[in-house]
Amino acid sequence: MTTSVAAFPQRRTLTVLAASQVVGGIGNGAGLAVGALLVRDVSGSSGWAGTATVALTLGAALATLPLASLAARHGRRPALTIGWLIGAAGAAVVVLGAELVSLTIVLAGLALFGVSTAASLQSRFAATDRADPRTVGRSLSLVVWAMTIGAVAGPNLTGPGAALGRATGLPELAGPALFSLVAFAAAGILTLIALRPDPLTRTTGDPSHERLGMRGALGHLRGPAATAVLAIGTAHAVMVAVMALTPVHMQDHGSDLQVIGLTISLHIAGMFALSPVMGALADRWGPARTILLGQLVLVAAVTVAGTSGHSDVQITVGLVLLGIGWSATVIAGAALLTRSVDPQVRTALQGVSDMVMSLSGAAGGLLAGLVVAWWGFGALNAAAGTLVIPVVLLILAGRRVARQVGAGAR
């Protein structure tokens, strides 16, 4: 009976988190699809288009630690609710900036919009708060998988969003942001009403959890936890760097826009569709082995993509592999981090992991353009591939130490 009672709140938690990911993911997809276009339209220059991604990513990065601290003190429900609602406010500011033709206001709105990404990332960790340690990977992977629906459906609202913009007298590119506003608000309200009991407060009742704080928690970022954060950060940097410049590379070689769009769509499917498989592997094989698998797939991905030349088929295969390698590494890395640290510091270090992930993605995206401009797309893939080396070395070293300790104990 105890097991069934304990399982019910976990099932409810996963259901609510997955539902909020679907709704919020639609909002993210709708807004992200037109962010760069809106910035270009408002600024009048294509040179500013890239700042949309920078604003979104930095907004997510800056919000991760405050939201994690809030969760540690008051629980996941208020932290996730506030994250989604700030994203809704950001969508409203984006609409205002588009109406006023103000680049400053649009970028400020996109930064607030990015807080929704921080809430989305924290949702996967919230799925592990009540999970059986043996099923941590599966629990968080189910919430990650729910992102697939929003990631696919959201961009398809660009056309209806433009029609909504015209109907309301707003600029066409502001229309999708209205969908984002409604979606984020709905995700926040759903979380506030339905995420009960709070998945975190019941499992971290020790008052020392609050007193330790973010600074104290950083002292625990070592061993497997540090490896997990490094793996997540580098995998995200590799993925963002290669993915961000793939459309440019393909267009330079004469690829049709529809083919480019299909390639990115299949890449996104690779990122999310197999999440439950990666979660099951992390639980069955162990997170470290699954991370190693992800690193090998990432090496295969950059090798295939970097040598694709004019072949649309080959670069598409490379981008699908890139998504799969990212999925294996990020899910297993999150499972390893969750398993390897004490509950008193877990929430804080999960916030650190999300911040590192967002900042790594921003750095990867910014540096990728420079590398391609100077040395080409092949060099970008080669450079990205070197990022797996320290992760592999750390995991192999950790496994060797574990074997030695086990041999000594016997």
109: Cβ contacts below 8 Å, ≥ 6 apart: 90, 91, 92, 93, 94, 95, 96, 97, 177
| Structure token digits, residue 251 | 């267009």
Distance between CA atoms of 396 and 382, rounded to whole angstroms?
Answer: 22
Query: What number is the average pLDDT over the span 134-142?
Result: 88
Query: Which fold would CATH assign to domain 215-410?
Result: Growth Hormone; Chain: A; (1.20.1250)
Q: Which of helix, strand or coil describes residue 410?
A: coil
pLDDT value at residue 172: 85
Sign of the Cα torsion 38, 42, 43, 44 reads: positive
Centroid of chain to Cα 64: 12
Band of residue 31 on the pLDDT scale cut at 50, 70, 90: confident
Distance between CA atoms of 213 and 220, rounded to whole angstroms?
Answer: 12
Task: Report how far apart, in Å, the C-alpha atoms of 190 and of each of 57, 101, 112, 122, 183 are.
Answer: 25, 33, 20, 16, 10
pLDDT value at residue 403: 53
Residue-wise pLDDT for 303-346, tens only, equals 999 999 889 999 999 999 999 999 999 999 999 999 998 888 88
pLDDT value at residue 202: 52
Winning range, highest mean pLDDT, from 75-84, 129-138, 270-279:
75-84
> Residue 47: is its pLDDT beyond 70?
no
> Residue 133: is its pLDDT beyond 90?
no
pLDDT value at residue 404: 44
51: Cβ contacts below 8 Å, ≥ 6 apart: 39, 107
pLDDT value at residue 238: 95
Q: Of 36 and 249, which is predicted with more confidence?
A: 249
Helices (H) and strands (E) in the chain, counts: 17, 0
Band of residue 195 on the pLDDT scale cut at 50, 70, 90: very high
pTM of the complete model: 0.82
Reported as half-sphere exposure (CB side, CA atoms, 13 A), residue 181 has a value of 15
| Structure token digits, residue 262 | 């299909």
Distance between CA atoms of 275 and 72, rounded to whole angstroms?
Answer: 27
Band of residue 25 on the pLDDT scale cut at 50, 70, 90: confident
> Residue 213: is its pLDDT beyond 60?
no
Query: Which fold would CATH assign to domain 1-203?
Result: Growth Hormone; Chain: A; (1.20.1250)
pLDDT value at residue 150: 74
Query: What number is the average pLDDT over the span 201-223?
Result: 58
Winning range, highest mean pLDDT, from 1-5, 39-43, 132-136, 387-391:
387-391
pLDDT value at residue 43: 86
DSSP string, 146-212: HHHHHHHHGGGGHHHHHHHHHHTTS-GGGHHHHHHHHHHHHHHHHHHHH--S-TTTTT---THHHHH
Band of residue 214 on the pLDDT scale cut at 50, 70, 90: low
Q: Of 48 and 214, which is predicted with more confidence?
A: 48
Q: Of 251 and 384, which is predicted with more confidence?
A: 384
Domain with CATH 1.20.1250.20 in the chain: 1-203, 215-410
Q: Of 186 and 57, which is predicted with more confidence?
A: 186
Q: Of 344 and 278, which is predicted with more confidence?
A: 278
pLDDT value at residue 50: 67
Q: Which of helix, strand or coil describes residue 19?
A: helix
Buried b (16+ CB within 10 A) or exposed e, 97-114: bbeeebbebbbbbbbbbb
Distance between CA atoms of 408 and 402, rounded to whole angstroms?
Answer: 10
pLDDT value at residue 268: 83
269: Cβ contacts below 8 Å, ≥ 6 apart: 148, 152, 320, 323
Distance between CA atoms of 247 and 190, rounded to whole angstroms?
Answer: 36
> Residue 207: is its pLDDT beyond 50?
no
**Which residue matches tokens 């984006």?**
94
CB 355 within 8 A of CB 63: no
pLDDT value at residue 2: 43
Query: What number is the average pLDDT over the span 181-199?
Result: 95
Maximum CA extent, the chain:
75
Give 48's DSSP letter: G
Q: Of 156 and 103, which is predicted with more confidence?
A: 103
> Residue 1: is its pLDDT beyond 50?
no
> Residue 208: is its pLDDT beyond 60?
no
Lowest model confidence (mean pLDDT) among 41-55, 197-211, 264-278, 297-311: 197-211
Reported as half-sphere exposure (CB side, CA atoms, 13 A), residue 119 has a value of 33
> Residue 53: is its pLDDT beyond 80?
no
Give me the chain's average pLDDT, please: 86
